[in-house]
Structure 1
Amino acid sequence: MAPQAARPHLLHIAERRHWEAARAAGAAYTMSTRGRTLAEEGFIHCSSDMDQVHGVLSRFYADLDPAELLLLVIDASRLDAPVRHEPVDGAVFPHVYGPIPLSAVIDVRSVPETR
């Protein structure tokens, strides 16, 4: 059996202020997760699909106003850093082991309201 192809897009929940600061500076995005940077965590947390996004939102971001959050859609083929799919709490999540260039973010969406 052939290995399963990697999904070309990753999803990352970003705090609006951090994404807007990276864009304004023209700098790569380096926030890993809520309140933690790439330097602190060692990688940037992502999701493979909307089911994972919903779970992460309800577990780690439920107390925030959805207007403070964005969903970054990342083209994995545009990343310079490796992506590793690693087990976390019984699921497998993609982790980006380096900064995310602005050019790799192909869409910025509102987070789903169903949390």
Structure 2
Amino acid sequence: MLIYKILRSEEWAALQAENETAGAPIDVADGYVHFSTLEQVRETASKHFDGIEGLYLLALEADTLGPELKWEPSRGGALFPHLYGPLRLADVRWSRPLPLEVGGHLFPDDMT
């Protein structure tokens, strides 16, 4: 199962340069890297990244992240994937720009 992470362009560049990251400032503050499922990621973009340009959508295979990935209740009691460890570039299956258009971010048609 793929899970998704939205990063600002400078965060994505830092991950590419360093090969791993503790995540965005909110991830560092919370002590884990926030991810979303396919069903959750559009609402995550709307709630936390509204109006922000220069975003990237990363996809990772949940099953390869090991025991550091925990599914915990969050928004509305839904289970969200949280990674209690670094986000590693080697774990990123793919990345794509997430352009801002009128009405919100334009997600790729194929997110598998």
TM bin, normalised by shorter chain, reads 0.7 to 0.9
Q: 1:84 aligns with which of 43, 59, 70?
A: 70
TM-score by length of 2: 0.77
Whether the 8 Å CA contact 1:81–1:99 is kept in 2: the answer is no
By how many angstroms is 1:82 displaced?
1.2
Q: Which runs of 5+ in 2 are unaligned?
A: 105-112
Correspondence 1:105 to 2:97: no
2:21 corresponds to 1:29? yes
Shift of 1:37: 4.1
| CA displacement, residues 7-26 of structure 1 (integer Å, 9 cap, x when unaligned) | 3x21001111111112123x
* 2:60 maps to 1:74: yes
- TM-score computed with the length of structure 1 as normaliser: 0.75
Q: Deviations over 1:32-88 (max 9, x none)?
A: 4xx3243x2111000111x311101111111212xx110111123443561111111
Q: Is the 8 A contact 2:27 2:34 kept in 1?
A: no
The 3 A distance-change label for structure 1 pair 93 and 16 is: same
Corresponding residue for 2:107?
none
Deviating 4+ runs (over 6 angstroms): none
CA shift for structure 1 position 110 = 2.1
2:32 partner amino acid:
F
Q: Which amino acid aligns with 2:13?
A: E
% same residue: 30
Distance in 1, Cα, partners of 2:10 & 2:72: 28
